[in-house]
Amino acid sequence: MEKAFSHHNHQQCQSSAVSQARELCDKEGVRFTKLREQVFSLIWQSHKPITAYQLLDLIKDGDFSATPPTVYRTLDFLLEQGLIHRINSLNAFIGCCQPGEHHTGTFIICEQCEQAEEVDNDEIVRVIKDVSDHHKFRMKRYVTEIYGLCPQCQSENARCQSAGRESTEEEHQS
Ligand SMILES: [Zn+2]
Ligand SMILES: [Zn+2]
Ligand SMILES: [Zn+2]
């Protein structure tokens, strides 16, 4: 799988995520059913976190007849297996880039293109543990969600701004 904020062939990225999930389910001795695969691959259809409602809509449009409870159960299964994460602030789901490794997840989320990328979080884990220890708090889990602009959106904005400046300069000249 590739990082969201990098140029890559996403179709390959999606299909490698699906085959890795299937392998992990085999290893765990759990079934990667047709519905589980379909929901998982819809979540991986882009690097934008997707809500349960959006998933239900997409599934409804397909030829598969899945009821909301089965889709919610499928999401629970995928979360339990560590194949996807929930982005709490968006109440949406995203595929995990390092499934099989136990971790909670730290995300950088672009407010413009709405893509999210899971980032390496050793340092953040350490700081969060320190804070919890300091307050004698027993941490169970955490989610870190960092909002802003991805590199691509930043350069797009810079291009638009400079194009805007040029056009107003032209107006002044005429
Ligand atoms: Zn991708
Ligand atoms: Zn992950
Ligand atoms: Zn962006």
The pLDDT > 70 percentage for the chain reads 93
- Exposed (0-12), middle (13-18) or buried (19+): which is 128, by Cβ within 10 Å? middle
13 is in an annotated binding site: no
What's the average model confidence in pLDDT over 68-77? 93
- The ligand with the least distance to the CA atom of 85 is 2
25 is in an annotated binding site: no
Question: What is the pLDDT, as a whole number, of residue 83?
Answer: 95
pLDDT in tens, 53-69: 999 988 877 656 678 89
- The ligand with the least distance to the CA atom of 110 is 3
The owner of tokens 């400079």 is 162
- The ligand with the least distance to the CA atom of 99 is 2
Query: Whole-prediction pTM value?
Result: 0.85
pLDDT in tens, 97-144: 888 877 777 899 999 999 999 987 788 888 989 999 999 999 887 878
Read off the pLDDT band of 170 (50, 70, 90): low
153 is in an annotated binding site: yes
Q: Say how far apart CA 147 and CA 114 lie, in whole Å.
A: 10
- Exposed (0-12), middle (13-18) or buried (19+): which is 114, by Cβ within 10 Å? middle
Rg of the chain in Å (alpha carbons)? 20
**H-state helical runs in the chain:** 10-28, 34-43, 52-61, 68-80, 122-134, 151-173
Q: Tell whether the model's pLDDT for residue 169 goes beyond 90.
A: no
Read off the pLDDT band of 90 (50, 70, 90): very high
Residue 50 gets which letter from DSSP? B
Q: What angle do CA 56, 60, 63 make, to 5 degrees?
A: 135
Question: What is the pLDDT, as a whole number, of residue 25?
Answer: 97
